Structure 1
């Protein structure tokens, strides 16, 4: 079968297109705007060449975005080429390293023509899985933003109102945020009576019978004096941070409800929720990054490389060195390392393996990454066979492996 290869150098405002065939003949080259009309222009040029979508292969330097979704939704095969690979190919075509958008589009088309066997096509996922991936990645971004806000709030309170940090364990928790809003400085807390404090704690189900008196004594204890103008200025900033933290807390809770609902509906949800110590958030993140298209990975090693848990081997003659894998899906790696870390608390073999890695002199992150590499292999097998986690199966495999080594 003869193919047409379409290289697209994408950008925010416009995209450059280059079309070639198996004979390396330039068929077409043009530029489109980043709009529906522009994307439909691609279809118009392609359909003038062939109506068979299987004969048209697209290459871009990204695996996400509206343009990629548009091509996948229209039934085309799309390849995501790492920008570093494109940069290396540039030397192969032009030692002077000329670079234009049109040259990059040509390189992408030619890479697909000559080295397509080295790359994997983007396989479409179910709509539920795509929604779960967006929610889980946005949830992670919101959590990072909340951490940033919490740090700013902590620094602000230290500057004029340290009492606000001493009363409740979690500064981003609802009870602490409500207290700071009602009593934004030390002067306001001095107007508080014991009965008012009891009502406030009861409203938040905080065990007011036992905790109200110690908290009241702490509130009424003398504090470091702060000049009034500092209090006025810092209070404004603190109230703004509290309002933003409350808003982001609500968004995070809404994301978690949606993620839980999708996990409950998705046929693979129970598989990932069966993992030890995997809560809704981790189960959703791992599932969304691994995907639900079983043709995506040829082996567990492909999944390990994409997750960034498998190291990179550098060997030449007597030289042999293992290094950290940087080219991977960062969200996938982050999810697997977080899961590997929490699995230590619930899984005995994982705890032993982690300790053995530390005893060999590896750092915490190296040991966690090595454990994550083991987990990717296990999760891949579960995912492929559509079976929930059963620790007995893994322990039996470990036992059989040890027997073979004797």
Structure 2
């Protein structure tokens, strides 16, 4: 039976679509808009490939594209048309294989995308059949991660500016969790944007500001310490320059406040959204898997039970080692090409289990005693956790420490 593949080279206006047969010849080429009529035109062209056969279905023809986040892809997935996403970097490598003089055209790129999957069908899989709820969590998780990154960038810009005229503000929250991103830090900087203003604050005013920002413990002690810190003699800018730099700092502070507010709102939204999914209790049953870490893991893994094997999940997360063997050389390194968001989430998850799971702690200590570094030992812990998570997602069971780490099992793998 003949087979066909569809390649789509996208753009903001028209999408070039090429349909190739099992010999690599282009049988149909069309340009469509990213609209409902355009999608209908593409599906009609696929149906007309073999209209006389009762065994032929358009779902046997995969659509290959470089960007999986487009509305065109969302509509194709809604009508259950298989879609395969080829990263642009992979596409560029294949383009160089076809000719010595590399050229580029939308029409030929569409045909090339289809031929990539035609020549290597086992190397490329269709997008997983994740639910709408899982896709929503993925969008929120990425947005929350981006908002935290923006808040960190805004904080670092403000900190760099504070070093030029107000180092006491940096020292006040040095070593504390979240540093200048803390609510009390931002509230106090809004009240005292310059060293002169901070030196004029009374202990009562500092305590009042800290309490208004949510501080409830050891108010008097912290207020006294801040009062002493701000009153200590330090190098200063000239008065007019200091005031101007204080105004500039308030601009940075406004950016930081907005970024922190958005991150907090998204944190609440993603927590509520993920809690409604049936997989949430499984993720939350694991040690150190809080609402944000669990949502980030779920966002990258999805809820399609057949998407990963246990080994494939570890490779996708970057915790499985990579072996290079050629002749007499043999080298094992950690995997760098992977899903970076998932790798970061697993690293944070594994680190958190060291104080919450005796089994994870024992495995980590055994790997460190065996010569592994900090990151390598955490990857081994992450491997074990992903194995357990994969099993629980397949079986529907919750996490049990005794089953995950039996007393008689070895802690080293």
TM-score, normalized by the shorter chain, greater than 0.5: yes
Which residue, 89, 109, 113 being the options, matches 1:104?
109
Contact 1:354 1:367 in 2 (8 A): yes
Task: Tell me which of 347, 352, 371 is aligned to 1:342.
Answer: 352
Aligned counterpart, 2:268: 257
| In 1: Cα distance, 2:198 partner to 2:80 partner | 64
> 1:55 and 2:60 equivalent?
yes
Give the drift of 1:315. 2.2
Contact 2:199-2:227 within 8 A present in 1 as well: no
Distance 1:19 1:370, change over 3 A: same
Q: Is the Cα–Cα contact under 8 Å of residues 297 and 345 in structure 2 kept in the other structure?
A: yes
Which structure 2 segments of 5+ residues have no match? 52-56
Equivalent position of 1:66 in the other structure: 71
Distance change (3 Å), C-alpha of 1:182 and 1:116: same
Shift of 1:301: 0.9
Matched, 1:203 2:212: yes
Instruction: Tell me the distance in 2 between the aligned counterparts of 1:174 and 1:304.
Output: 38
Residue 158 of structure 1 pairs with residue 168 of structure 2: no
Distance 1:134 1:235 in 2: 37
Match of 1:182 in 2: 191
Match of 1:138 in 2: 143
1:2-401 alignment runs, 5 A limit: 2-34=2-34, 38-49=38-49, 52-90=57-95, 93-168=98-173, 169=176, 170-204=179-213, 205-206=215-216, 207-297=218-308, 299-396=309-406, 399=408
- Cα 1:196–1:117 change in 2 (3 A) is closer
User: Do the aligned residues in 1 keep the contact of 2:188 with 2:206 (CA within 8 Å)?
Assistant: no
SS of residue matched to 2:349:
helix
Question: CA 1:3–1:228 in 2, change beyond 3 Å: closer, same or farther?
Answer: same
> Within 2, Cα distance between the matches of 1:81 and 1:203?
52
- SS at 1:399 equivalent: coil
Moved >6 Å (runs of 4+): none
Confirm or deny: 8 A CA contact 2:187 2:210 kept in the other structure: no
Contact kept in structure 1, 2:7 and 2:18, CA below 8 Å: yes
Contact residue 160 and residue 230 of structure 1 kept, 8 A:
no
Distance in 1, Cα, partners of 2:224 & 2:99? 78
Instruction: After TM superposition, give the deviation of residue 231 of structure 1 in Å.
Output: 0.9
Paired residues of 1:2 and 1:55 also in contact (CA < 8 A): no
3-state SS of paired residue (2:163) = helix
Structure-2 separation of matches of 1:325 and 1:35: 40
Shift of 1:300: 0.7
Question: Whole-Å Cα distance in 2 between the matches of residues 30 and 72 of structure 1?
Answer: 20
Question: Contact 1:53 / 1:75 at 8 angstroms: preserved in 2?
Answer: no
Query: CA separation in 2, counterparts of 1:300 and 1:254?
Result: 34
Distance in 2 between the 1:319 and 1:219 partners? 61
Give the equivalent residue in structure 1 for 2:54.
none
Aligned equivalents of 2:241, 2:66: Cα separation in 1: 51
Normalising by structure 2, what TM-score? Answer: 0.88
Question: What is the SS of the residue equivalent to 1:246?
Answer: helix
Instruction: For residue 160 of structure 1, give the secondary structure of its aligned residue in structure 2.
Output: coil
1:172-231 deviation per Cα after TM superposition (whole angstroms, max 9, x unaligned): 111111111111112223443344334333333444344433433333333333212331
Cα distance change of structure 1 residues 193 and 316 upon mapping to structure 2, 3 Å threshold: closer
Give the drift of 1:347.
1.9
Q: Distance in 1 between matches of 2:226 and 2:86?
A: 59
Shift of 1:70: 2.1
Q: 1:209 to 1:18 in 2, by over 3 A?
A: same
